[in-house]
């Protein structure tokens, strides 16, 4: 069976992600597509670059799938994240969740994208007209200060 | 010998995708201090350590030669 959770350097085909979660017991399929935004706080992005620790990132995406299966019954999940250079409006991440009833599909999809931003080792570099920078800690939740581990929200 | 994988900004700063640490056994805390010494350019603030693809939150956890170790800056995917 093709992988349900993976990192790719190629453009993401939405249909192929949706097809992975189609199931006779499902009454809803929710898709989330994260795209490259041009303007952030008044600053123009020219393009983005994503890097990932691929084996761990795929493992963590799979973990998010398991967490969703534990929280919402009879869900099917597929998540694909693209890395490399992405232009404005390119799809960075595609999430598909199928559930028997629609409410769960919305909740589970939202849960998936929030968890991606917490636990999956993927990094984004912004390229602006006047510079570039690797972006960290979008949630503004601290990891551990000065390299010393402490209590952390990432562990499950 | 322990290979420490680098990504994103850390990789760019050092100019390579891994650092070789000439030890066979050490704790997370010792590893971080050691890397601070040999790669003083690196800002390890908020950087986390993953061992065998799992984050480690115990600074006293022991790493041995053969473990897969990675330094992870705060993530920004999605």
Q: Give the residue-averaged pLDDT of A95-124.
A: 98
Q: Which of A135, A143, A146 sits opposite B76 (nearest CB)?
A: A135
Give mean pLDDT, residues A26-38.
Answer: 98
Closest listed residue to residue B35, CA positions, set B24, B46, B49, B19: B19
Nearest to B48 among A118, A138, A149 (CB): A149
Specify the fold of A5-147: Aldehyde Oxidoreductase; domain 3 (3.90.1170)
In chain B, what are the domain boundaries? 2-72
Chain A residues within 8 A of B53 when measuring between CB atoms: 53, 55-56, 59
* Separation in Å, CA of B76 to nearest CA in chain A: 5
Range with the lowest mean pLDDT among A64-68, A95-99, A138-142?
Answer: A138-142
pLDDT above 70 (res A151):
no
- Which ipTM was obtained for this model? 0.95
Q: Please name which of B27, B20, B75 lies closest in space to residue B51, comparing C-alpha atoms.
A: B27
The conformation of residue A41, written as its DSSP 8-state character, comes to: T
CB contact under 8 A, B78 and A53: no
Q: Which residue from B minimizes the CA distance to A110?
A: B78
Residue in chain B closest to A155 (alpha carbons) equals B55
- Using pLDDT thresholds of 50, 70 and 90, give the confidence band for residue A138: low
If 0-12 CB within 10 Å is exposed, 13-18 middle and 19+ buried, where does residue A40 land?
Answer: exposed
pLDDT at A149: 40
B43 min Cα distance to partner chain A (Å): 9
Average pLDDT, chain A: 90
User: Which backbone phi and psi does A23 adopt, to 5 degrees?
Assistant: -155, 145
Taking only the tens place, the pLDDT of each residue in A72-91 is 999 999 999 999 999 999 99
- Taking CA–CA distances from B13, the nearest residue in chain A reads A134
pLDDT score for A137: 62
CA distance A61 to chain B (A): 11
pLDDT score of A155? 38
At CB < 8 Å, which residues of chain B contact A? Answer: 5, 7-9, 11-12, 28-29, 32, 36, 44-50, 53-59, 70, 72-78
Instruction: Give the sign of the dihedral formed by CA A134, CA A51, CA B76, CA A29.
Output: positive
A57 has a chain B CB within 8 A of its CB = yes
Tell whether the model's pLDDT for residue A140 goes beyond 90: no
Q: Does domain B2-72 have CATH number 3.10.20.30?
A: yes
């Amino acid at each position: 069976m093709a992988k349900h959770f993976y990192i790719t350097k190629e453009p993401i085909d939405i249909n192929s992600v949706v097809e992975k979660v189609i199931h006779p017991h499902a009454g809803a399929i929710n898709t989330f597509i994260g795209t490259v935004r041009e303007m952030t706080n008044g600053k123009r992005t020219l393009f983005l670059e994503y890097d990932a620790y691929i084996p761990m990132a795929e493992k963590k995406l799979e973990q998010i799938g398991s967490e969703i299966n534990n929280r919402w019954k009879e869900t099917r999940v597929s998540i694909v994240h693209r890395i490399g250079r992405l232009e404005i409006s390119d799809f960075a991440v595609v999430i598909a969740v199928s559930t028997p009833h629609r409410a769960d599909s919305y909740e589970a999809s939202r849960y998936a994208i929030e968890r991606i931003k917490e636990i999956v080792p993927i990094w984004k570099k912004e390229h602006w007209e006047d510079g570039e920078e690797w972006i960290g800690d979008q949630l503004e939740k601290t990891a551990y200060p000065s390299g010393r581990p402490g209590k952390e929200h990432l562990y499950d | 010998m322990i290979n420490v994988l680098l990504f994103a900004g850390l990789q760019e700063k050092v100019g390579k995708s891994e650092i070789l640490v000439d030890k066979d056994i050490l704790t997370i805390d010792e590893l971080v201090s050691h890397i601070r010494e040999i790669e003083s350019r690196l800002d390890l603030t908020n950087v986390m350590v993953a061992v065998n693809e799992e984050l480690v939150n115990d600074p006293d956890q022991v790493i041995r030669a053969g473990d897969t170790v990675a330094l992870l800056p705060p993530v920004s995917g999605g």
